């Protein structure tokens, strides 16, 4: 349930309500907006919460019927902005994350990081652990890959996002990276989501291959419920009957999520299309639809990539895309 405090409610009024709720064993989450303070309440004895509606400082008590609470816009009407270094996910500026699918060598990452930095971007992606469909495909460099990413961060001032695939890799990623990515295959790995919520690092949560939006938001709820409100959702395409693209990019998820949740959402046009020359148009479309960011695979030599070469932009094409995104962003009142 949520308690909407009256406009005239003072800090003492708010504390009186939250103290009473905590004393009765409820979990309390405070959201203070420009005009209203909303208190999110999690617990079973709803009749005790309803009784608080008689207090003069309480405007109304509203039941929340959605299964996800903490990530719901009902609980938190204001947009959440997740700050990672210079990047602000959910603010006016669209954040472009770029880099290779997989860390393959120090030279490869440093080439990409230099180019990305020169383009004015602030977040580098790269997989140190790679969950692959085939057990014979390149699985990543592990901790060595994380160390290369960390070196690029120090040298070029970039924030690093990389994927954790299990509890062991989660500990390593939380140590070396700035944003923990939970991939599509692990979106409903609930024990991993709980652990990610306890790392204290922002989490980029990709939508599962066949997940509904409600299932995706419930996965985010696991992270939030375990102490981590800094969640960035990522639409990366879902599996449909269409076979021309790798997946089907669900751009309608952007406005739907923004209505249901306060969390920022980014789009991955690389995994959704599976073909480098379709990445740019879908990236521009995502910005036009309201995406707070993009995560794009870019490689110094895509033809030599050990992972996802066909969908990776080369660095000149990435620079062209970043330039073109500015025009689209400006048209919808944003910047890149």
Task: Decide if 108 is inside a domain.
Answer: yes
Question: CATH no. for residue 58?
Answer: 3.30.70.1140
Separation CA 71–CA 63 (nearest Å): 15
Q: What is the pLDDT of residue 184?
A: 97
Q: Is the pLDDT of residue 262 over 90?
A: yes
Number of domains making up the chain: 2
Q: Which residues pair with 158 in a beta bridge?
A: none
Q: Do 54 and 140 fall into the same domain? A: no
Q: What is the pLDDT of residue 97?
A: 98
> pTM for this one?
0.88
DSSP state of 27: E
Among the residue ranges 7-11, 112-116, 143-147, 298-302, the one predicted with the least confidence is 7-11
Q: Do 273 and 143 fall into the same domain? A: yes
Separation CA 245–CA 271 (nearest Å): 9
Residue identified by tokens 């997740």 is 82
Q: Give the domain extent around 173.
A: 82-331
Contact 105, 144 (CB under 8 A): no
Among the residue ranges 27-41, 111-125, 295-309, the one predicted with the least confidence is 27-41
Residue among 153, 125, 141 nearest 318 (CA)? 125
Q: Do 92 and 38 fall into the same domain? A: no
Task: Decide if 75 is inside a domain.
Answer: no
Task: Decide if 86 is inside a domain.
Answer: yes
Q: Residue 59: in which H helix or E strand, if any? A: strand 58-62
Separation CA 14–CA 4 (nearest Å): 10
Q: Do 47 and 128 fall into the same domain? A: no
Task: Decide if 9 is inside a domain.
Answer: yes
Q: Is the pLDDT of residue 281 over 90?
A: yes
Q: Residue 97: in which H helix or E strand, if any? A: strand 95-99
> What are the residues whose beta carbons fall under 8 Å from the beta carbon of 305, sequence distance 6 or more?
100, 101, 102, 104, 299, 312
């Amino acid at each position: 349930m949520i308690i909407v405090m009256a406009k005239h409610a003072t800090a003492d009024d708010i504390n009186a309500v939250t103290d009473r709720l905590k004393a009765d064993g409820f979990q309390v989450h405070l959201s203070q907006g420009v005009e209203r303070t909303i208190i999110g309440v999690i617990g079973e004895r709803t009749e005790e919460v309803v009784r608080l509606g008689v207090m003069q400082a309480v405007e109304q008590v509203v039941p929340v019927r959605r299964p996800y609470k903490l990530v719901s816009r009902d609980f938190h009407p204001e947009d959440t902005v997740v700050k990672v270094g210079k990047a602000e996910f959910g603010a006016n500026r669209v954040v472009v994350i770029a880099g290779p699918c997989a860390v393959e060598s120090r030279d490869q990452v440093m080439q990409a990081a230099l180019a990305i930095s020169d383009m004015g971007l602030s977040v580098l992606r790269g997989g140190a652990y790679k969950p692959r469909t085939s057990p014979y495909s390149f699985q990543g460099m592990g901790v060595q890959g994380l160390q290369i990413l960390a070196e690029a961060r120090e040298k070029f001032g970039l924030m690093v996002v990389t994927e954790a695939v299990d509890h062991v890799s989660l500990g390593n990623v939380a140590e070396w990276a700035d944003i923990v990515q939970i991939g599509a295959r692990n979106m409903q790995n609930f024990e991993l989501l709980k652990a990610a919520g306890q790392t204290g690092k922002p989490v980029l949560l990709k939508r599962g291959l066949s997940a509904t939006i409600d299932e995706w938001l419930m996965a985010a709820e696991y992270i939030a419920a375990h102490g981590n409100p800094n969640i960035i959702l990522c639409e990366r395409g879902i599996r449909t009957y269409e076979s021309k693209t790798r997946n089907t990019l669900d751009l309608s998820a952007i406005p739907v999520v923004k209505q249901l949740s306060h969390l920022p959402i980014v789009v991955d046009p690389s995994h959704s299309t599976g073909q480098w020359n379709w990445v740019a148009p879908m990236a521009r479309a995502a910005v036009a639809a309201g995406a707070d960011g993009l995560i794009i695979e870019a490689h110094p030599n895509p033809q030599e990539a050990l992972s996802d070469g066909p969908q990776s932009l080369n660095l000149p094409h990435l620079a062209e895309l970043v330039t073109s995104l500015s025009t689209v962003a400006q048209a919808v009142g944003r910047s890149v």
